[in-house]
Amino acid sequence: MNSEIANSETRTKIMATLGPSSDVLELAREGARAFRLNLSYNDIEWHTSMIEQVRESEDKLGLPLGVVADLRGRKLRISSTEYEVVEGQTVVLESDTCPPSSGIHTSQKLTIDADIFEQLEEGAQLILGDGDVVLDVEELSDTHASAQVVRGGRIKDNMGLRVVGVSLKLPPITKLDREYVRKLSKLVDYFGLSFVSSSRDMEELRKLSHVPIIAKIERREAVENLREIVGCCDGVMVARGDLGVELSLEKVPLIQKEVLRLSRALGKPGIVATQMLESMLHSPSPTRAEVADVANAILDGADTLMLSGETAVGKYPTEAVRWMKKIISETERFGKFEPIQEIEKSTVSSAISKAVYVLASELNAGAIFTPTATGTTPKMVARFRPSQWIYALSQSEKTARRLSIVWGVIPIKEDIGESLDELTDKVVEFIGKERKRKGTIVLTGGHPLGTPGTTNLIKVVVVN
Span 323-343, average pLDDT: 89
Give percent of the chain above pLDDT 90: 66
- Asked if 139 and 130 count as a contact pair (C-beta separation under 8 A), the reply is no
pLDDT band, very low/low/confident/very high, at 181 (cuts 50, 70, 90): very high
User: For the CA atoms of the chain, what is the radius of gyration?
Assistant: 24
- What is the CATH number that goes with domain 348-463? 3.40.1380.20
Instruction: Say whether pLDDT at 103 is over 50.
Output: no
For residue 121, pLDDT beyond 60 = yes
Angle between helices 317-334 and 288-300 (to 10 degrees): 50
Average pLDDT over residues 123-148: 89
Distance CA 270, CA 214 (A): 9
More confident residue, 3 or 82: 82
Chain region(s) in the chain for CATH 2.40.33.10: 76-164
From residue 267, give the alpha-carbon distance in Å to each of 222, 255, 262, 299, 403: 19, 18, 9, 17, 12
Largest CA distance in the chain: 85
Quick: pLDDT tens for 63-99.
999 999 999 887 888 888 888 999 999 999 988 766 5
Convert 430-462 to b/e letters by CB count within 10 Å (16 or more is b): bbeeeebeeebbbbbbbeebbeeebbeebeebe
Third-level CATH fold of 76-164: M1 Pyruvate Kinase; Domain 3 (2.40.33)
Better pLDDT: 376 or 334: 376
Range 111-119 average pLDDT: 83
Residues of each domain in the chain carrying CATH 3.20.20.60: 3-73+175-330
Does pTM surpass 0.85?
Answer: yes
Q: Which CATH class is domain 3-73+175-330?
A: alpha beta
Average pLDDT on 243-258 reads 92
pLDDT digits (tens, 9 = 90+) for 24-36: 999 999 999 999 9
pLDDT at 114 over 80: no
- d(C-alpha 51, C-alpha 420), whole Å: 36
Q: Read off the pLDDT of each residue in 223-241 and give the average, rounded to a whole number.
A: 96
Whether the pLDDT of residue 119 is over 80: the answer is: yes
Is 29 or 431 the better-scoring residue by pLDDT? Answer: 29
Name the segment(s) of the chain with CATH classification 3.40.1380.20. Answer: 348-463
Alpha carbon distance 194, 221 (integer Å) = 13
Instruction: State yes or no: pLDDT of 258 exceeds 50.
Output: yes
User: Residue 243 to residues 62, 206, 217, 273, 426: CA-CA distances in angstroms?
Assistant: 37, 24, 7, 11, 46
Rounded average pLDDT over 372-384: 94
Closest to 327 measured CA to CA, from 301, 362, 292: 292
CB 439 within 8 A of CB 368: no
Q: Give the number of other Cβ atoms within 10 Å of residue 370's Cβ.
A: 27
